[in-house]
């Protein structure tokens, strides 16, 4: 096989879930069926690296020093919601129920995968939380054990800053019936039940 | 083809495999540490997904074809432990050490039962330090490394008032015999032997001794979970 083609296949293998077989298929597809699409893809990737940086305020990808969302005066800058990934931000925006700011960790603490506080640049989050406008930090990491550990770590990390710290609620999915709920969710819902009187 | 039905396991860790599957690392009641392939477990609506979390005993059914174990089903069968805060981080620390040190497919159900008991105690949120020390000692014992705490390397009983030097693979020696390893007062060794961590000095010194031993046996490999402890240096 040509070395150039081999390099392309090797490069495609960096995508998650792509092994040698799919990489070979993708390479032939790009070269043979869709050369324009392939050129666009190559350019977009190069462009992203040239122009995209991280927002100083929320750590999301953006082309300016501070992203549009963070520089929007209509947002409530007294609450900061800490999330794992940019896709989580899109989910919260879809709720139309949160108007504060975000901080994106770009992952979660997962010591068994070698991801500790340094790999997630937790010191940048600490610096961000120092902002005196911020009164409340909402921790919205996933409800996996790694997400919970990340939440514990952040709580310890920022506790000397004297902010209100909250964790998003968990429990039964909205509109769900107990009969059809998975046992784990139900076990946790009864054990972490909320007082209502 | 062999099939194992409704067997108690604890998930230690999972990692992605191909596009939608997971490799599940688990501690099983009778088969020791095992790896299972959970096909399709990363699909958004997978029923397995919610159950494949650490620190909660589940019942698993899998098939054995040569070396590959494929997970078919899991069921919830124990009370909700809900490890929180520092207890949760202790849990990660234990899982990381098991993953680093315990070989696959060989272990006793004694160790499984011990692990199970440790998690139950962790969920009660008391005395993490002593639980971690006990865990480290039991894990080394499970691996066949005996940590002699009640006698020195010559077989003499430990004197609580004397200082010893504890060296991995050798044990405790009086200073005129050897000064390799960690300096430690006899009382600490005796307390550790009796699993009594009520004295502050025992807590402090046992931490130093176990840190030294764990470093020795992990080949100075970093234990990443330790970075998650902010409150004090464990
Ligand atoms: Zn921003």
Whether residue B232 has pLDDT greater than 80? no
Nearest to A185 among B50, B92, B95 (CB): B50
Per-residue pLDDT, B107: 73
Whether residue A61 has pLDDT greater than 90? yes
Whether residue A126 has pLDDT greater than 90? yes
| B131-167 b/e (C-beta count within 10 Å ≥ 16 → b) | bbbbbbbbbbebeeeebebeebbeeeebeeeeebbbb
Nearest to B92 among A149, A183, A191 (CB): A149
Query: What CATH fold (topology level) applies to the domain B85-230?
Result: de novo design (two linked rop proteins) (1.20.1440)
- Using the Cβ of A19 and the Cβ atoms of chain B, whether some distance falls under 8 Å is answered with yes
Residue to test with chain A: of B11, B89, B125, B226, most A Cβ within 10 A? B89
Q: Are A162 and A135 in contact (CB under 8 A)?
A: no
Calculate the CA A60 to chain-centre distance.
9
Please list every residue in chain A whose beta carbon sits closer than 8 Å to the beta carbon of residue B47: 182
Distance CA A8, CA A157 (A): 43
CB contact under 8 A, A182 and B47: yes
- Using the Cβ of B224 and the Cβ atoms of chain A, whether some distance falls under 8 Å is answered with yes
Average pLDDT over residues B138-162: 93
pLDDT tier at B166, thresholds 50, 70, 90: very high
The string of pLDDT tens digits covering residues A28-56 is 999 999 999 999 999 999 999 999 999 99
How many CA atoms lie less than 13 Å away from B80 in the CB half-sphere?
13
Range of weakest confidence among A17-26, A60-69, B201-210: A17-26
CB contact under 8 A, A182 and B51: yes
- Using the Cβ of A111 and the Cβ atoms of chain B, whether some distance falls under 8 Å is answered with yes
The string of pLDDT tens digits covering residues A70-84 is 999 999 999 999 999
Per-residue pLDDT, B231: 64
> Nearest-CA distance from A197 to chain B in Å?
25
Distance CA B203, CA A101 (A): 43
Please list every residue in chain A whose beta carbon sits closer than 8 Å to the beta carbon of residue B75: 183
Average pLDDT over residues A103-132: 96
Calculate the CA A4 to chain-centre distance.
35
Per-residue pLDDT, B1: 62
- Using the Cβ of A117 and the Cβ atoms of chain B, whether some distance falls under 8 Å is answered with yes
CB contact under 8 A, B88 and A187: no
Average pLDDT over residues B174-198: 94
Distance CA B137, CA B48 (A): 34
Nearest to B227 among A113, A117, A184 (CB): A117
Q: Which residues pair with A80 in a beta bridge?
A: A101, A137
Range of weakest confidence among A54-63, A186-195, B213-222: B213-222
Distance CA B27, CA A124 (A): 36
- Using the Cβ of B103 and the Cβ atoms of chain A, whether some distance falls under 8 Å is answered with no
Give me ligand 1 centre to Cα A86, in Å: 11
- Residue A80: count of CB within 10 angstroms of its CB: 25
Q: What CATH number has the domain spanning B3-76?
A: 2.40.50.140
CB contact under 8 A, A152 and B79: no
How far CA A97 is from CA of A92, A93, A138, B124, in Å, comes to: 8, 8, 14, 36
Per-residue pLDDT, B234: 39
Domain ranges of chain B: 3-76, 85-230
Average pLDDT over residues A78-105: 97
% of residues, chain A, pLDDT over 70: 100
Per-residue pLDDT, B50: 79
Per-residue pLDDT, A16: 79
CB contact under 8 A, B16 and A16: yes
How far CA B22 is from CA of B1, B42, B112, in Å, comes to: 21, 7, 23
Which of helix, strand or coil describes residue A106? Answer: coil
Nearest to A145 among B16, B18, B88 (CB): B88
Give me ligand 1 centre to Cα A102, in Å: 7
- Using the Cβ of B35 and the Cβ atoms of chain A, whether some distance falls under 8 Å is answered with no
Per-residue pLDDT, B23: 94
The string of pLDDT tens digits covering residues B50-106 is 789 999 999 999 998 877 899 999 999 888 888 999 999 999 999 999 999 999 988
How far CA A144 is from CA of A104, B27, B43, B88, B124, in Å, comes to: 17, 19, 16, 11, 20
Give me ligand 1 centre to Cα A31, in Å: 37
Per-residue pLDDT, A3: 93
Distance CA B173, CA A82 (A): 52
In this structure, what token pair is assigned to residue B152?
Answer: 């020195």
Which chain B residue lies closest to A157 (C-alpha atoms)? B230
Distance CA B194, CA A63 (A): 62
Average pLDDT over residues B144-162: 93
What is the average pLDDT value for chain A, to the nearest integer? 94
pLDDT tier at B171, thresholds 50, 70, 90: very high
The string of pLDDT tens digits covering residues B16-42 is 888 789 999 999 999 999 999 999 998
Calculate the CA B154 to chain-centre distance.
30
Per-residue pLDDT, B233: 43
Nearest to A156 among B54, B93, B230 (CB): B230
- Using the Cβ of A149 and the Cβ atoms of chain B, whether some distance falls under 8 Å is answered with yes
Average pLDDT over residues A108-136: 96
ipTM tops the 0.85 cut: yes
């Amino acid at each position: 096989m040509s070395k150039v083609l081999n390099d392309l296949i090797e490069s495609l293998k960096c995508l998650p879930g792509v092994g040698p077989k799919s990489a070979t298929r993708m390479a032939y597809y790009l070269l043979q069926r869709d050369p324009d699409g392939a050129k666009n893809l190559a350019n977009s990737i190069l462009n992203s690296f040239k122009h995209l940086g991280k927002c100083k305020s929320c750590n999301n990808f953006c082309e300016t020093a501070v992203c549009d969302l963070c520089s929007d005066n209509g947002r409530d800058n007294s609450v900061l919601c800490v999330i794992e990934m940019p896709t989580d931000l899109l989910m919260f925006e879809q709720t139309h129920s949160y108007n504060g700011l975000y901080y994106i960790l770009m992952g979660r603490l997962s010591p068994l995968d070698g991801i500790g506080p340094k790999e997630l640049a937790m010191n940048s989050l600490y610096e961000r939380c120092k902002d005196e406008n911020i009164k409340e930090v909402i921790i919205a990491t996933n409800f996996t054990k790694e997400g919970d550990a990340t939440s514990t770590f952040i709580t310890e990390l920022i506790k000397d800053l004297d902010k209100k710290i909250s964790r998003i609620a968990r429990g039964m999915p909205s509109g769900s019936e107990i009969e059809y709920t998975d046992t784990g969710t139900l076990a946790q819902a009864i054990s972490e039940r909320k007082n209502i009187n | 083809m062999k099939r194992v039905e409704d067997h108690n396991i604890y998930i230690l860790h999972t990692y992605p495999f191909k596009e939608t599957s997971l490799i599940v690392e688990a501690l099983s009641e009778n088969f020791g540490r095992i790896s299972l392939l959970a096909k399709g477990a990363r699909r958004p609506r997978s029923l397995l997904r919610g159950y494949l979390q650490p620190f909660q005993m589940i019942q698993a059914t899998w098939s054995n074809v040569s070396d590959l174990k494929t997970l078919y089903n899991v069921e919830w069968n124990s009370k909700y432990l809900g490890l929180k805060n520092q207890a949760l981080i202790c849990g990660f620390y234990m899982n990381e050490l098991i993953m680093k040190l315990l070989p696959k497919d060989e272990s006793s159900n004694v160790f499984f039962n011990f692990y199970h008991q440790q998690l139950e105690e962790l969920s009660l949120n008391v005395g993490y330090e002593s639980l971690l020390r006990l865990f480290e000692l039991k894990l080394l014992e499970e691996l066949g490394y005996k940590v002699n705490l009640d006698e020195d390397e010559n077989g003499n009983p430990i004197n609580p008032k004397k200082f010893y030097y504890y060296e991995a693979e050798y044990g405790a020696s009086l200073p005129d015999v050897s000064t390799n390893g960690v300096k430690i007062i006899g009382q600490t060794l005796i307390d550790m032997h009796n699993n009594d961590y009520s004295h502050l000095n025992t807590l402090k010194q046992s931490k130093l001794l176990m840190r030294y031993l764990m470093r020795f046996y992990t080949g100075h490999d970093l234990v990443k979970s330790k970075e998650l402890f902010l409150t004090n240096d464990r």
